[in-house]
Structure 1
């Protein structure tokens, strides 16, 4: 029963994890330019791009659900719903239009709106799941009794992977470090620690109650993909008012738009930095706009080409977990240079190796689950 219970995290964890590990960009100075770029810039860009593709896929589908909620049949609105590809394009255009903010320092308001909307729809789903009660035919029984020990271990690792993705550090650090002033005399160490602590508390307050109540309310009715939002819409959508369902989808949609901005900003900054370095002059506004349109078009193409990317989220996310669970430990050793084989050195080395081992196990478990359940690889058919 580990997987159905932990699927309750999926609904909002994927939206709350919307920032990346900025301090990894210091790795080029620690391990050499080539190795540093390979270890830091590639995972950051790969994670940013993949997350933006997921935002387009999920945001486009949310737009479709919102439209169908408001216009439940053609006679109401006298218009026909767009195709999935067209909804993806609509979301991408809106996201790129909002993405004209210059840098992370200008995104505090966007992030605040994203956090408020995430908390808002978590609360709505939580309250409505309790008030509307449980379906009659749900079950909490151990339907995995026939599974082998290997399958049960794989389920447990997948469940831990979902928790790890919800609480990984790079969903906090980038924006906190990017928006807090810091210098050698007045560092941002204390406000960053306070921000991280508060952020994790808020995430926990959203995720754990949602998981517990969701499992209580839906049990084995929780779909393998889609999380609580899909479960709620399938079970209670018909007897829920359009206003409430539309409000939930609207909050989710705004959150996806805000998350897209924060995920995409590292890529924008990197592209603009390369232009500035090559041209030896500041990046003009028209170039900045073109770069962002190019990135939006590229992510839109990938979203249309690989619309099943959400099914690979745990596998792909597990590959970048070392940025949270391993890199900081190794970076601390490289920067602080504690006494080799000492207590502090051994603890950091052990935790870093454990983080890599944990990430590898999650990737293996996710790959095994995909091999067991299969994958609907609908290329270019969103």
Structure 2
């Protein structure tokens, strides 16, 4: 036993004195929480006997604990997404709710005006189930067999498709989703601020203080930039909680008030008839794009999971899946009543610009309590400020990654402020230059659809390598292929809708 004790002592000393290990993959340093250590050089015949099994477990636990407090990657500790890994299932649920419910849900009834009751509900159910499955795939792929954690969607795509192809397929859609969503939030948030101010301050004495739409955009952007100074993704968990509460609040208020007030006079549920066959087909594809756009947010799932601590006993996927199940139960309880109740109340009279929020103000401004409409507007503004933070975080992370890769040191605080302020200024400029972007929900949904419904299936096949012709193999190939075809059709349908129906294109005139 003295020999065994000496072996344990030497093994522990060796593990603790081992310098930090750095693993370079795809030109970026990754920081696995559970890197596989080499087998012990003291592996003797005695250690392979049943008598030594408890002792081997003790040694493995010692090595595992050493691996958890050893810093394997400094760069991950410098970046906003992975700087803090103190997240849990609750924080994950907050982030998912904040990013999963938003303005995109308000336009869901527009898809029903084309698809009708049966196909509208069926497509909504299929899309919800499909994206929940691909969400599960991403969560399982977050940690590789080698211990590497893919805490960014782009890095997982590069690991699956290769560095060049991964960037080509994923970089633009992911950045487009993050930046485009922030631009749209400025438009909706700033516009809602203006409406809220007009409702609260109807007295003529307030006429001297009324701001223009551009100025309200600026007010919203400044507030978003100030809030964006929180250092990392885990630190905005409280902001995401507020965003989640306000999102559930205004979605519930809108559909409850709409249903309570009853159906409008002369409401119709019949699709427009005076259309050519080609126009109907393209309108259907555009409607599918609106439904797909309602379930965007997969570009943030791996980032959110990256904030959760992981070890062999409690891998991050367990806590993440608990958060997902709770969050998407709440999301379903918001989206389905909003889509079905909104279509029941307004039918084909649903405004094409703004969706349910515009319908509430257009049809029920005079027969609904002023307090209810003002509260709904306030919740929309707060949710917009909260959602801006989580969607902008991948952009902030990418900017700081460029700096830390070049200079091999953490980004100084003053430069972080400059990065985030410049991003806010850029999104503000785009919101003024292209104020018609919210009318492109179908087109945005088509571009983002592979991120949500197709790429996770292909990445599962390439990384997990399921047995050919197995059920999993057929399922993922089918879903991935159908997702890519749908993406192309939806983009074509959205472009056709823009050309045929037209949108009010006005630059620098919000």
Deviation (angstroms), 1:175: 5.4
**Matching residue of 2:266:** 138
Is the 1:45–1:267 contact (alpha carbons within 8 Å) kept by the matching residues of 2? yes
TM-score, length-normalised on structure 2?
Answer: 0.68
**2:439 aligned with 1:311, yes or no?**
yes
Q: Indicate the SS of the match to 1:179.
A: coil
TM-score, length-normalised on structure 1?
Answer: 0.90
**Matching residue of 1:366:** 494
Structure 1: tracts of 5 or more residues without a match: 10-16
CA distance in 2 between partners of 1:130 and 1:338 (Å):
48
RMSD: 2.5
CA distance in 1 between partners of 2:116 and 2:431 (Å):
23
**Matching residue of 1:195:** 323
**Matching residue of 2:422:** 294
Alignment of 1:254-265 (within 5 A): 254-265=382-393
**2:139 aligned with 1:30, yes or no?**
no
Deviations 1:278-336 (A, max 9, x none): 11111111110000001011111111110111111220231121011111111111111
Q: 1:255 to 1:175 in 2, by over 3 A?
A: farther
Is the 2:298–2:451 contact (alpha carbons within 8 Å) kept by the matching residues of 1? yes
CA distance in 1 between partners of 2:169 and 2:313 (Å):
30
**Which of the residues 164, 173, 178 maps onto 1:43?**
173
CA distance in 2 between partners of 1:50 and 1:356 (Å):
21
Q: Who wins on radius of gyration, i.e. which is larger? A: 2
CA distance in 2 between partners of 1:170 and 1:3 (Å):
24
**Matching residue of 2:243:** 114
Q: 1:133 to 1:272 in 2, by over 3 A?
A: same
**2:261 aligned with 1:102, yes or no?**
no
**Matching residue of 1:4:** 113
CA distance in 2 between partners of 1:71 and 1:45 (Å):
38
Deviation (angstroms), 1:78: 4.5
**Matching residue of 1:127:** 256
**Which of the residues 29, 40, 59 maps onto 2:189?**
59
Q: Indicate the structure whose relative CO is greater, using CA pairs within 8 Å and at least 6 residues apart.
A: 1
Deviation (angstroms), 1:169: 5.3
Deviation (angstroms), 1:7: 11
CA distance in 1 between partners of 2:116 and 2:197 (Å):
26
Structure 2: tracts of 5 or more residues without a match: 1-109, 121-130, 139-151
CA distance in 2 between partners of 1:174 and 1:254 (Å):
25
Deviations 1:90-138 (A, max 9, x none): 1100000000111111121111111110110112112222333333x33
**2:371 aligned with 1:243, yes or no?**
yes
Q: 1:320 to 1:267 in 2, by over 3 A?
A: same
Q: 1:124 to 1:141 in 2, by over 3 A?
A: closer
Deviation (angstroms), 1:3: 4.4
CA distance in 1 between partners of 2:200 and 2:293 (Å):
33
